[in-house]
Amino acid sequence: MTRLRTWLRAFGQFWWDFFVGDTPELFVATVALIAVTAVLVHAHAARSVATVLLPLLVIGALLWSVRKSWPKR
């Protein structure tokens, strides 16, 4: 049982590191931008807004993550 738990924990840790790793902000940003787009698409009037907004949010997520590594002044 303990061995199984250890194996499951290691398995989960491996995939967490693989998909999230040291950039959790990119994971959070991706989930957030999908959620925002889903809300806009659900409100049919805002569907065209979502078409334009989604790529801009992706660039914003990249800038946010890169900005975290900018040297402090």
Residues in contact with another protein by CB under 8 A are 18-21, 23, 26-27, 29-31, 33-34, 37-38, 41, 47, 50-51, 54-55, 58-59, 61-63, 65-67, 69-73
Q: Specify whether the backbone of 21 is left (phi greater than 0), alpha (psi in -120 to 50) or beta.
A: left
Neighbour tally for 18: CB within 10 Å: 8
Pick 6 or 30: Cβ nearer another protein: 30
* Closer residue to another protein, CB minimum distance, 10 or 71: 71
Q: How far is the CB of 53 from another protein (least distance, A)?
A: 10
**Sign of CA pseudo-dihedral 17, 21, 24, 29:** negative
